[in-house]
């Protein structure tokens, strides 16, 4: 489809989509198998979780420039597979990208959203690649396209899966000794056990550590109220997804009854979800990542909305190198609007990040990658090694 004739500059002429699966590190698999439900969390899923499913996108322009995107998908949470994402782009969304200027990202995302309903994950993949492409064309870091970075490095929050209390304590203390100051604990095994875990964590990590918890839909609204009230004496900043995905009214009931701000994760896939949850009084914190609520353009809108509504923001995901770099740039550009340390776990969980040079994680912090766009380069050999299907190519 032809672009707006008033636009100047490079045009997108090719879309490449590759489905991949990257296994977890062996120590991560062992920890998850020893944890709740074999997953290290209370989410009511039955399938084994042995690694991450992703789609890697490369957009190419007629001037030879290219940009990268990446989305993580897991059926119990996102409800789509790599095949779903790729077929949606191949059969529908691609027509709104080919022939366009990557700088027309606002127009592209609006057209895609208007013509292909409930496709935020696939739209987000294309949107992310456009920001990398814009940065490479201009020679600027992607954060410059979001208003410019506030910081060159970010403190990160560490994830502690739901295991036996001794293992959780050991892992949390090892993170603390490594420089981490914020922790997300998976809970949901029962009100009494949740309280015991958080009491132990506060005693072990000290008053200076910042705590947030994630229930992964473990409770009914009434149970969630009791569970959150039981841990509030231990200083919890955020409670994530205590009730089932579609129960917005239940989330609102819980939020009215507790002092701890709630954050929706499995319930939040679109900007419309965000507005509905906020109007119901169901959340006090907004969680965004590479695919929710649908790429960088939508994430910037969500963060601006959260700031206007007086809510903090948690940027969080288990990403490979491309999406991790994207979220780091996003967090650095919107640092003053967040209020919470980002959560990035892919570098801990997966055996490969699919980028040539590693992102600089050290002492509980991460540095913003330098260079144009995301500042990372795809490892082509790793892409081929972890591919689980044929690369799909769309051309203008």
Chain segment 70-127, per-residue pLDDT in tens:
999 999 889 999 999 999 999 999 999 999 999 999 999 999 999 999 999 999 999 9
Give the CA count within 13 Å in the CB-facing half-sphere of 186: 21
Task: Please tell me the predicted confidence (pLDDT) of residue 2.
Answer: 45
What is the rounded average pLDDT of the residues 299-311? 98
Looking at the chain, the domain(s) classified CATH 3.30.390.10 span 12-139+380-395
**Is domain 12-139+380-395 annotated with CATH 3.30.390.10?**
yes
* 234 SS3 class: helix
Residue 36 pLDDT > 80: no
Q: Are 68 and 365 in contact (CB under 8 A)?
A: no
Token reading at 226: 């009791």
* 124 SS3 class: helix
Task: Please tell me the predicted confidence (pLDDT) of residue 33.
Answer: 76
- For the domain covering 145-367, report its CATH number: 3.20.20.120
What is the average pLDDT score of the chain?
Answer: 95
Q: What is the pLDDT of residues 330-352, one digit of tens each?
A: 999 999 999 999 999 999 999 99
Looking at the chain, the domain(s) classified CATH 3.20.20.120 span 145-367
9: buried, middle or exposed (CB in 10 Å: 19+, 13-18, 0-12)? middle
Strand-pair category, 285-288 with 392-395: unpaired
Give the CA count within 13 Å in the CB-facing half-sphere of 278: 18
Model pTM score: 0.96
Identify the helix (H) or strand (E) that includes residue 300.
helix 295-308
Q: Are 48 and 56 in contact (CB under 8 A)?
A: no
């Amino acid at each position: 489809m032809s672009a707006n004739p008033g636009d100047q500059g490079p045009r997108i002429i090719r879309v490449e989509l590759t489905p991949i699966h990257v296994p977890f590190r062996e120590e991560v698999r062992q920890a998850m198998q020893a944890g709740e439900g074999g997953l290290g969390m209370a989410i009511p899923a039955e399938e084994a979780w042995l690694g991450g499913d992703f789609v890697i996108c490369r957009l190419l322009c007629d001037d030879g420039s290219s940009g990268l995107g990446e989305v993580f998908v897991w059926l119990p949470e996102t409800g789509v597979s790599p095949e779903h994402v790729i077929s949606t782009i191949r059969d529908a969304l691609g027509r709104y990208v080919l022939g366009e200027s990557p700088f027309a990202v606002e127009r592209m995302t609006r057209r895609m959203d208007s013509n292909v309903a409930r496709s935020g994950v696939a739209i987000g993949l294309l949107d992310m690649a456009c920001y990398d492409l814009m940065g490479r064309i201009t020679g600027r870091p992607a954060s410059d396209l979001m208003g410019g970075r506030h910081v060159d490095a970010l403190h990160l929050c560490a994830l502690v899966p739901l295991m036996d209390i001794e293992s959780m304590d050991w892992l949390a203390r090892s993170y603390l000794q490594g420089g981490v100051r914020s922790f997300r604990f998976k809970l949901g095994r029962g009100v009494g056990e949740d309280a015991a875990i958080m009491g132990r964590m506060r005693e072990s990590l000290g008053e200076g550590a910042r705590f947030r918890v994630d229930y992964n839909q473990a409770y009914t609204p009434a149970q969630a109220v009791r569970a959150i009230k039981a841990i509030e004496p231990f200083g919890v900043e955020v409670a994530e997804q205590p009730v089932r995905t579609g129960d917005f009214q239940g989330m609102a009931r819980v939020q009215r009854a507790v002092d701890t701000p709630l954050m929706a994760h499995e319930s939040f896939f679109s900007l419309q979800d965000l507005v509905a949850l906020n109007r119901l009084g169901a959340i006090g914190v907004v969680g965004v990542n590479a695919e929710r609520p649908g790429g960088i353009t939508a994430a910037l809108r969500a963060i601006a909305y959260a700031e206007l509504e007086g809510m903090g923001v948690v940027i969080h995901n288990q990403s490979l190198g491309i999406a991790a770099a994207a979220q780091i740039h996003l967090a650095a550009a919107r640092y003053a609007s967040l209020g919470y340390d980002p959560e990035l776990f892919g570098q801990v969980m997966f055996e490969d990040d699919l980028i040539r040079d590693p992102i600089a994680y050290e002492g509980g912090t991460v540095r913003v990658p330098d260079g144009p766009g995301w500042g990372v380069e795809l490892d082509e050999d790793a892409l081929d090694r972890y591919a689980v299907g044929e690369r799909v190519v769309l051309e203008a």
